[in-house]
Protein backbone atom coordinates (compact mmCIF):
# COMPACT_ATOMS: atom_id res chain seq x y z
CA UNK A 1 0.00 0.00 0.00
CA UNK A 2 2.81 2.37 0.86
CA UNK A 3 4.50 1.69 -2.47
CA UNK A 4 1.23 2.26 -4.34
CA UNK A 5 0.70 5.54 -2.48
CA UNK A 6 4.19 6.70 -3.40
CA UNK A 7 3.57 5.77 -7.02
CA UNK A 8 0.31 7.73 -7.08
CA UNK A 9 2.00 10.76 -5.54
CA UNK A 10 4.82 10.54 -8.09
CA UNK A 11 2.29 10.27 -10.94
CA UNK A 12 0.31 13.26 -9.67
CA UNK A 13 3.42 15.42 -9.40
CA UNK A 14 4.51 14.62 -12.94
CA UNK A 15 1.00 14.99 -14.36
CA UNK A 16 0.69 18.39 -12.71
CA UNK A 17 4.09 19.49 -14.06
CA UNK A 18 3.19 18.18 -17.51
CA UNK A 19 -0.10 20.10 -17.69
CA UNK A 20 1.16 23.22 -15.96
CA UNK A 21 4.12 23.48 -18.34
CA UNK A 22 1.72 23.21 -21.29
CA UNK A 23 -0.42 25.93 -19.75
CA UNK A 24 2.64 28.16 -19.35
CA UNK A 25 3.40 27.79 -23.08
CA UNK A 26 -0.20 28.56 -24.02
CA UNK A 27 -0.22 31.69 -21.88
CA UNK A 28 2.49 33.18 -24.10
CA UNK A 29 1.35 31.95 -27.54
CA UNK A 30 3.37 34.33 -29.73
CA UNK A 31 6.74 33.56 -28.13
CA UNK A 32 5.97 29.83 -27.99
CA UNK A 33 4.83 29.75 -31.61
CA UNK A 34 7.95 31.54 -32.80
CA UNK A 35 10.14 28.98 -31.03
CA UNK A 36 8.14 26.08 -32.44
CA UNK A 37 8.37 27.52 -35.99
CA UNK A 38 12.15 27.87 -35.72
CA UNK A 39 12.39 24.29 -34.47
CA UNK A 40 10.14 23.06 -37.28
CA UNK A 41 12.22 24.73 -39.99
CA UNK A 42 15.41 23.39 -38.44
CA UNK A 43 14.03 19.84 -38.34
CA UNK A 44 12.36 19.88 -41.76
CA UNK A 45 15.60 20.51 -43.67
CA UNK A 46 17.42 17.23 -42.87
CA UNK A 47 14.13 15.30 -42.90
CA UNK A 48 13.28 16.66 -46.35
CA UNK A 49 16.74 15.76 -47.63
CA UNK A 50 16.26 12.26 -46.24
CA UNK A 51 12.99 11.90 -48.16
CA UNK A 52 14.68 13.16 -51.33
CA UNK A 53 17.42 10.57 -51.03
CA UNK A 54 14.85 7.87 -50.29
CA UNK A 55 13.02 8.83 -53.48
CA UNK A 56 16.29 8.72 -55.42
CA UNK A 57 17.00 5.22 -54.13
CA UNK A 58 13.49 4.16 -55.09
CA UNK A 59 13.93 5.56 -58.59
CA UNK A 60 17.20 3.71 -59.11
CA UNK A 61 15.60 0.50 -57.85
CA UNK A 62 12.66 0.87 -60.22
CA UNK A 63 14.76 1.68 -63.26
CA UNK A 64 15.15 -1.04 -65.83
CA UNK A 65 18.62 -2.49 -66.06
CA UNK A 66 20.89 0.51 -66.54
CA UNK A 67 24.04 -1.60 -66.60
CA UNK A 68 23.03 -3.45 -69.77
CA UNK A 69 25.94 -4.52 -71.93
CA UNK A 70 25.68 -4.20 -75.73
CA UNK A 71 27.68 -6.86 -77.58
CA UNK A 72 28.36 -6.05 -81.24
CA UNK A 73 29.14 -9.25 -83.12
CA UNK A 74 31.38 -9.55 -86.16
CA UNK A 75 29.76 -8.53 -89.44
CA UNK A 76 30.18 -12.05 -90.76
CA UNK A 77 28.02 -13.55 -87.99
CA UNK A 78 24.62 -14.65 -89.27
CA UNK A 79 21.34 -15.30 -87.54
CA UNK A 80 22.04 -18.92 -86.62
CA UNK A 81 25.40 -18.11 -85.01
CA UNK A 82 23.92 -15.13 -83.18
CA UNK A 83 21.08 -17.23 -81.76
CA UNK A 84 23.54 -19.98 -80.80
CA UNK A 85 25.79 -17.51 -78.98
CA UNK A 86 22.75 -15.97 -77.29
CA UNK A 87 21.66 -19.36 -75.97
CA UNK A 88 25.17 -20.10 -74.78
CA UNK A 89 25.52 -16.79 -72.92
CA UNK A 90 22.13 -17.19 -71.26
CA UNK A 91 23.54 -20.18 -69.36
CA UNK A 92 26.27 -18.08 -67.72
CA UNK A 93 25.58 -17.69 -63.98
CA UNK A 94 26.36 -13.94 -64.05
CA UNK A 95 23.91 -13.17 -66.87
CA UNK A 96 20.20 -12.67 -66.25
CA UNK A 97 18.85 -12.22 -69.78
CA UNK A 98 20.13 -12.06 -73.35
CA UNK A 99 18.15 -10.22 -76.03
CA UNK A 100 19.34 -10.67 -79.65
CA UNK A 101 18.75 -7.69 -81.92
CA UNK A 102 18.93 -8.28 -85.64
CA UNK A 103 20.46 -5.71 -88.03
CA UNK A 104 16.98 -4.91 -89.33
CA UNK A 105 15.65 -4.26 -85.82
CA UNK A 106 18.67 -2.15 -84.95
CA UNK A 107 18.32 -0.03 -88.07
CA UNK A 108 14.60 0.47 -87.45
CA UNK A 109 15.29 1.61 -83.87
CA UNK A 110 18.01 4.04 -84.96
CA UNK A 111 15.94 5.63 -87.72
CA UNK A 112 12.92 5.80 -85.42
CA UNK A 113 14.87 7.60 -82.70
CA UNK A 114 16.23 10.06 -85.27
CA UNK A 115 12.79 10.65 -86.77
CA UNK A 116 13.86 9.21 -90.13
CA UNK A 117 11.02 6.77 -90.63
CA UNK A 118 11.12 5.18 -94.06
CA UNK A 119 14.84 5.73 -94.56
CA UNK A 120 15.61 2.12 -93.60
CA UNK A 121 13.61 0.89 -96.56
CA UNK A 122 15.75 2.92 -98.99
CA UNK A 123 19.07 1.55 -97.68
CA UNK A 124 20.24 -1.26 -99.94
CA UNK A 125 22.90 -2.68 -97.62
CA UNK A 126 22.37 -2.69 -93.86
CA UNK A 127 25.68 -1.72 -92.18
CA UNK A 128 24.65 -2.84 -88.70
CA UNK A 129 25.74 -6.20 -87.22
CA UNK A 130 23.87 -8.49 -84.85
CA UNK A 131 23.75 -7.08 -81.32
CA UNK A 132 23.18 -8.94 -78.07
CA UNK A 133 21.72 -6.91 -75.22
CA UNK A 134 22.86 -8.56 -71.98
CA UNK A 135 21.50 -7.81 -68.51
CA UNK A 136 23.78 -9.12 -65.74
CA UNK A 137 22.43 -10.35 -62.42
CA UNK A 138 22.09 -7.86 -59.57
CA UNK A 139 25.40 -8.62 -57.81
CA UNK A 140 27.48 -9.14 -60.96
CA UNK A 141 30.42 -6.90 -61.84
CA UNK A 142 29.59 -5.44 -65.28
CA UNK A 143 33.21 -4.45 -65.88
CA UNK A 144 34.50 -7.96 -65.22
CA UNK A 145 31.73 -9.47 -67.33
CA UNK A 146 32.55 -7.11 -70.20
CA UNK A 147 36.16 -8.31 -70.13
CA UNK A 148 35.07 -11.96 -70.43
CA UNK A 149 32.72 -11.15 -73.29
CA UNK A 150 35.35 -9.23 -75.25
CA UNK A 151 37.55 -12.34 -75.20
CA UNK A 152 35.00 -14.34 -77.22
CA UNK A 153 35.88 -15.06 -80.84
CA UNK A 154 32.65 -13.83 -82.45
CA UNK A 155 32.53 -10.57 -80.47
CA UNK A 156 33.71 -7.37 -82.17
CA UNK A 157 33.02 -4.86 -79.41
CA UNK A 158 31.38 -4.67 -75.98
CA UNK A 159 29.88 -1.34 -74.93
CA UNK A 160 28.96 -0.67 -71.32
CA UNK A 161 28.48 2.91 -70.20
CA UNK A 162 28.46 2.84 -66.41
CA UNK A 163 30.38 6.04 -65.78
CA UNK A 164 27.28 8.19 -65.40
CA UNK A 165 25.64 5.59 -63.14
CA UNK A 166 28.74 5.48 -60.96
CA UNK A 167 28.68 9.27 -60.77
CA UNK A 168 25.02 9.19 -59.78
CA UNK A 169 25.72 6.67 -57.02
CA UNK A 170 28.66 8.77 -55.81
CA UNK A 171 26.44 11.86 -55.66
CA UNK A 172 23.77 9.94 -53.72
CA UNK A 173 26.41 8.66 -51.28
CA UNK A 174 27.75 12.19 -50.83
CA UNK A 175 24.25 13.51 -50.16
CA UNK A 176 23.60 10.71 -47.67
CA UNK A 177 26.68 11.70 -45.70
CA UNK A 178 25.66 15.34 -45.94
CA UNK A 179 22.21 14.44 -44.62
CA UNK A 180 23.79 12.60 -41.68
CA UNK A 181 26.04 15.57 -40.86
CA UNK A 182 23.11 18.00 -41.15
CA UNK A 183 20.98 15.76 -38.93
CA UNK A 184 23.62 15.87 -36.19
CA UNK A 185 24.18 19.62 -36.53
CA UNK A 186 20.48 20.42 -36.54
CA UNK A 187 19.88 18.09 -33.58
CA UNK A 188 22.45 20.09 -31.64
CA UNK A 189 20.75 23.28 -32.87
CA UNK A 190 17.37 22.06 -31.59
CA UNK A 191 18.82 21.38 -28.14
CA UNK A 192 20.42 24.84 -28.06
CA UNK A 193 17.26 26.60 -29.29
CA UNK A 194 15.14 24.94 -26.62
CA UNK A 195 17.83 25.50 -24.01
CA UNK A 196 18.04 29.19 -24.83
CA UNK A 197 14.24 29.51 -24.67
CA UNK A 198 14.15 27.77 -21.30
CA UNK A 199 17.04 29.94 -20.10
CA UNK A 200 14.96 33.05 -20.84
CA UNK A 201 12.02 31.51 -18.97
CA UNK A 202 14.30 30.76 -16.03
CA UNK A 203 15.54 34.35 -16.07
CA UNK A 204 11.95 35.62 -15.89
CA UNK A 205 11.23 33.28 -12.94
CA UNK A 206 14.56 33.77 -11.21
CA UNK A 207 13.13 35.09 -7.94
CA UNK A 208 10.52 32.32 -7.80
CA UNK A 209 13.19 29.66 -8.27
CA UNK A 210 15.40 31.23 -5.58
CA UNK A 211 12.52 31.28 -3.10
CA UNK A 212 11.76 27.62 -3.85
CA UNK A 213 15.40 26.73 -3.24
CA UNK A 214 15.44 28.65 0.06
CA UNK A 215 12.37 26.83 1.40
CA UNK A 216 13.95 23.46 0.66
CA UNK A 217 12.64 22.51 -2.78
CA UNK A 218 14.76 19.79 -4.36
CA UNK A 219 16.57 20.28 -7.64
CA UNK A 220 14.24 17.71 -9.21
CA UNK A 221 11.17 19.68 -8.13
CA UNK A 222 12.59 22.89 -9.62
CA UNK A 223 13.82 21.21 -12.78
CA UNK A 224 10.68 19.16 -13.57
CA UNK A 225 8.38 21.82 -15.10
CA UNK A 226 11.17 23.17 -17.30
CA UNK A 227 11.94 19.69 -18.60
CA UNK A 228 8.32 19.21 -19.56
CA UNK A 229 8.34 22.62 -21.25
CA UNK A 230 11.31 21.47 -23.31
CA UNK A 231 9.43 18.28 -24.14
CA UNK A 232 6.42 20.27 -25.36
CA UNK A 233 8.59 22.60 -27.43
CA UNK A 234 10.43 19.72 -29.06
CA UNK A 235 7.38 17.61 -29.83
CA UNK A 236 5.46 20.60 -31.19
CA UNK A 237 8.43 21.51 -33.40
CA UNK A 238 8.66 17.93 -34.68
CA UNK A 239 4.93 17.79 -35.43
CA UNK A 240 5.03 21.12 -37.27
CA UNK A 241 8.09 19.95 -39.22
CA UNK A 242 6.08 16.95 -40.38
CA UNK A 243 3.28 19.27 -41.53
CA UNK A 244 5.78 21.49 -43.38
CA UNK A 245 7.15 18.46 -45.19
CA UNK A 246 3.65 17.35 -46.17
CA UNK A 247 2.86 20.83 -47.50
CA UNK A 248 6.12 20.88 -49.44
CA UNK A 249 5.36 17.49 -50.98
CA UNK A 250 1.88 18.68 -51.96
CA UNK A 251 3.33 21.76 -53.65
CA UNK A 252 5.90 19.68 -55.54
CA UNK A 253 3.50 16.89 -56.51
CA UNK A 254 2.23 18.66 -59.64
CA UNK A 255 5.61 19.62 -61.17
CA UNK A 256 7.15 16.25 -60.28
CA UNK A 257 4.17 14.43 -61.80
CA UNK A 258 4.43 16.37 -65.06
CA UNK A 259 8.17 15.75 -65.24
CA UNK A 260 7.62 12.05 -64.54
CA UNK A 261 4.94 11.80 -67.24
CA UNK A 262 7.26 13.40 -69.78
CA UNK A 263 9.67 10.50 -69.23
CA UNK A 264 6.90 7.89 -69.23
CA UNK A 265 7.39 7.10 -65.55
CA UNK A 266 4.98 6.76 -62.64
CA UNK A 267 7.43 8.23 -60.12
CA UNK A 268 6.05 10.17 -57.15
CA UNK A 269 7.82 11.67 -54.17
CA UNK A 270 7.71 9.38 -51.17
CA UNK A 271 5.70 10.65 -48.20
CA UNK A 272 7.19 10.43 -44.68
CA UNK A 273 6.50 7.07 -43.09
CA UNK A 274 5.60 6.40 -39.48
CA UNK A 275 9.24 5.79 -38.52
CA UNK A 276 10.31 9.21 -39.77
CA UNK A 277 7.35 10.91 -38.09
CA UNK A 278 8.19 9.16 -34.82
CA UNK A 279 11.83 10.24 -35.08
CA UNK A 280 10.76 13.83 -35.76
CA UNK A 281 8.27 14.09 -32.90
CA UNK A 282 9.79 11.84 -30.22
CA UNK A 283 13.41 12.61 -31.09
CA UNK A 284 12.78 16.35 -31.06
CA UNK A 285 11.01 16.00 -27.72
CA UNK A 286 14.02 14.24 -26.24
CA UNK A 287 16.32 16.93 -27.63
CA UNK A 288 14.07 19.51 -25.99
CA UNK A 289 14.43 17.73 -22.65
CA UNK A 290 18.21 17.65 -23.12
CA UNK A 291 18.37 21.38 -23.86
CA UNK A 292 16.17 22.14 -20.86
CA UNK A 293 18.26 19.92 -18.59
CA UNK A 294 21.43 21.76 -19.54
CA UNK A 295 19.83 25.20 -19.08
CA UNK A 296 18.27 24.39 -15.70
CA UNK A 297 21.36 22.58 -14.49
CA UNK A 298 23.49 25.62 -15.19
CA UNK A 299 21.13 27.84 -13.20
CA UNK A 300 20.95 25.39 -10.29
CA UNK A 301 24.73 25.32 -10.07
CA UNK A 302 24.67 29.09 -9.63
CA UNK A 303 22.14 28.76 -6.80
CA UNK A 304 24.03 25.89 -5.14
CA UNK A 305 27.69 26.48 -5.93
CA UNK A 306 29.91 23.56 -4.98
Q: Which CATH class is domain 69-161?
A: alpha beta
| Rounded distance between C-alpha atoms, residue 286 and residue 231, angstroms | 6
What are the φ/ψ torsions at residue 304 (nearest 5 degrees)? -115, 75
> HEC string of the chain?
CHHHHHHHHHHHHHHHHHHHHHHHHHHCHHHHHHHHHHHHHHHHHHHHHHHHHHHHHHHHHHCCCCCCEEEEECCCCCHHHHHHHHHHHCCCCCEEEEEEECHHHHHHHHHHHCCCCCHHHHCCCCCCCCEEEEEECCCCCHHHHHHHHHCCCCEEEEECCCHHHHHHHHHHHHHHHHHHHHHHHHHHHHHHHHHHHHHHHHHHCHHHHHHHHHCCCCHHHHHHHHHHHHHHHHHHHHHHHHHHHHHHHHHHHHHHHHHHHHCCCCCCCCCCCHHHHHHHHHHHHHHHHHHHHHHHHHHHHHHCCC
Residue 242 has a pLDDT of 92
Note the pLDDT tens digit of each residue in 25-66: 888 888 889 999 999 999 998 888 888 887 777 666 555 445
Residue 157 has a pLDDT of 82
Range of 11-15, 60-64, 262-266 with top mean pLDDT: 11-15
Note the pLDDT tens digit of each residue in 195-247: 888 888 888 777 777 777 777 767 677 788 888 898 999 999 999 999 999 99
% of the chain surpassing 90 pLDDT: 12
Decide if 190 contacts 281 (C-beta within 8 A): no
Decide if 132 contacts 89 (C-beta within 8 A): yes
Give domain limits for the chain: 18-63+166-303, 69-161
Which of 190, 194, 151, 164 has its CA nearest to residue 63? 164
Decide if 237 contacts 43 (C-beta within 8 A): yes
Residue 64 has a pLDDT of 45
Amino acid sequence: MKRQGSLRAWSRRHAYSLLSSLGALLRQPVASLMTVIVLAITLSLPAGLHLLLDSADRVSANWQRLDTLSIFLDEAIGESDAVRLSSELSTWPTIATVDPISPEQGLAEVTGQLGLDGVAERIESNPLPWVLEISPIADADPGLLAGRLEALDDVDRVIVDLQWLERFRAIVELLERLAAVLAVLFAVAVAFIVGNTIRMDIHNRHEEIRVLALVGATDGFIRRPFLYSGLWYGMAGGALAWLLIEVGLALLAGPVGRLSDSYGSDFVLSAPDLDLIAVLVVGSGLLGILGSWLAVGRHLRRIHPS
